[in-house]
Chains A and B, each alone.
Chain A
């Protein structure tokens, strides 16, 4: 630290008179302290991930070692996930690539359907007038308060009677219509000035044109927020797939990850490889869209 200060001192003395130099260093010290504090917190939060990635490259004997760094870096743990040892009895039923695909597929379907149906419904609630609209919306709002657990038992029975247990449709359809998405997009649509609707009407645009060409483009931040929420929560969802899925090859990642924890897989290094890969899509979504997410959460939660 002292070296750095010595280097800059003459420089800033030339620029400013002595009292200002003191203030400069006061601010510099304050900023440095803040950086240090923030970095220490960030380090604590990040260390589990560092351990996760490093362990995923270790051979099994080294998992318990004092040092986190593998003495030899192995890609084998990742290869096992994709079937390099599928003849081994202990890896029987391990179809990680398939689970990965299942998760992404289900999450994408749910996201697409939910954003679409929510946008249509939100448009109806926010921009159109019809008898009983506000009462129906109140009903929607009320159901948002219900714990998800309340619906699980009857929905499971409905899935049994529809014959959708252990199918992708059984995962996708119940999640495709939510009151929350409708509520969130309605909030965004209400911020659009209503003069646009009148202008469109004068131009002779149909309600569909108004929705598709005017309102929807202006709701883009809301659509992105809902997309992130839905994608991540479906990708992470565990309870519903756990009760719905019976055949191993239809598992989504969260259910599949439990495979490593069952009697057949006590191999921490392979598990860490599986976890590392499963976290990647979320990191990608997060880094690409984080700006929208931050705004969306603030808007959605403050208003809700």
Chain B
């Protein structure tokens, strides 16, 4: 009885605001509740419509597009994780040098000397801006030299800790097309680039585009051959092969629709022509990818989830590389024509440009993600790596990178797995506040992520039944990631 008495305040609230809404939400998804039809002026009875809402969702391109954009935004996750890991490793290095405290003062003194030296060199030409940046950097260094890693950790963590509407609005202003500090700073380098591109023959720059495309094909070949080798050596199970193949296939699929986008969205005729070449090549590559992976030898005893983590990480990194190559080659191909136009090259329009909006949001996300909880988890993970392993490696004469790949990275695998799963779950349902404050879903719906789509459907258009169906679909996605974690995570964490 006392047990329930202690629980009472919490469980009443839990029942009222979690469990009852839960059941209610489940029912809602099967009704036609629409605030334009059912409101206080017009009390039509609610109808149960079965699976109509879900059927509508499947036939609704806006749903699929917002899901696609949500998945696109997840390409930032590996960068964020890599940044967190790098930050954590740097923070655990020996920052004191040889003999304790005086190192700090030496470094501080050296920096101040270097700073003042630079100022003297720059002389009267130095602007207040250079002074400002040097001053901030010097302050950070001096306080870091005295306070050690705590100072840096605090500074790294601040963007994550304060992330919210306030910092999103800050970045919105930083990204402003004509007045934002980013584009103000970019004006001169971009003008320089315009002159350089105009001076070069157009064919040379465009050759760069084809080089990038070639590099993409090579990356893809390399990835597939690596997967096949792992498979042959029985280091890879069937799940790893399938998931890895899907990841590698995504850029190819994207490239195959690239020509169409270029044709309708761009005015440059040659780009459309190049698009067809890319399209044809992509379809060819896709066929090769499928046959190449399907054609592997089948008879084997390897467990199906063997090597899944390594395959996923390899293929995710390769996938991002492939996307980057594609984007780069597209930019390079269009560059001469853009530079030749009257205004020359312009800095990107960031969140005001449909193509740049998502990468801009990803970049801002990275700013907040490097010093996030993931960094703290990695810090904890690093402190749990047994020191004897490094000592043994020292005796074997292993270098820094050898130690990282053979000790640190495998030892941190459980932490990485946990972080990846959490980031994917967070990525599926997140992004609402960012999108609402920075872009309001635009431009041209390019940043309408799943969470924002649900918000507009429910609270702006009043289609509560339909929006509930979409939230339950979102829940299904989250659940499948969680189940994936349960199925494969334990093996990884304990192994």
Contact = CB atoms under 8 A, between A and B. Distances in A.
Contact of B471 (A28, A128, A149, A287): A149
Given A145-B482, A279-B162, 9 more contacts: A1-B113, A34-B94, A45-B367, A48-B167, A64-B178, A69-B132, A117-B10, A124-B7, A254-B166
7 closest pairs, A vs B, by CB? A177-B13, A130-B3, A31-B97, A121-B10, A154-B21, A236-B164, A254-B165
Nearest to A269: B173
B17 A46 contact: no
Interface in A246-301: 253-255, 257-258, 260-261, 268, 271-272, 275, 278-279, 282-283, 286-287, 290, 294, 297-298, 301
A63 interface: yes
A50 B136 contact: yes
A42 B156 contact: yes
Nearest to A137: B7
A145 B482 CA distance: 9
Nearest to B468: A153
A279 B166 contact: yes
21 contacts: A4-B113, A24-B97, A30-B94, A41-B370, A42-B156, A43-B140, A117-B9, A124-B3, A145-B479, A149-B432, A150-B468, A173-B13, A177-B9, A177-B10, A177-B13, A257-B165, A261-B169, A268-B173, A282-B162, A286-B158, A297-B377
A152 interface: yes
Contacts of B94: 27, 30-31, 34
B17 A149 contact: no
A279 B159 CA distance: 10
Interface residues of B, number: 108
A27 B132 CA distance: 30
A249 B454 CA distance: 27
Nearest to B127: A67
B478 interface: yes
A275 B169 CA distance: 8
A50 B132 contact: yes
A41 B156 contact: yes
A135 interface: no
Interface string B441-479: 000000000010011001100001001100110110011
Most central of B6, B87, B93 by chain A CB within 10 Å: B6
B91 interface: yes
Contacts of A272: 170, 173
Interface in A125-159: 125, 128-130, 133, 136, 139-140, 143, 145-158
Interface stretch (B98-106, B261-269, B303-311, B401-409): B98-106
A23 B98 contact: yes
B22 A146 contact: yes
A4 B91 CA distance: 24
A68 B176 CA distance: 15
B290 to A, nearest CB: 34
A105 interface: no
A29 B3 CA distance: 61
Nearest to A162: B16
Contacts, number: 301
A145 B153 CA distance: 30
A77 interface: no
B171 A48 contact: yes
Nearest to B178: A64
B108 to A, nearest CB: 9
A238 interface: yes
Contacts of B17: 151, 155, 158, 173-174, 177
Contact of A286 (B10, B91, B161): B161
A200 interface: no
Interface in B137-174: 137, 140-141, 144-145, 149, 152-159, 161-167, 169-174
Contact of A243 (B14, B127, B161, B459): B459
A157 B155 CA distance: 42
B129 A67 contact: yes
B301 interface: no
Contacts of B165: 236, 238, 253-255, 257-258
Contacts of B418: 301
A202 interface: no
B225 interface: no
Interface string A83-113: 0000000000000000000000000000000
Interface string B1-36: 111101101111110111111101100100000000
B395 interface: no
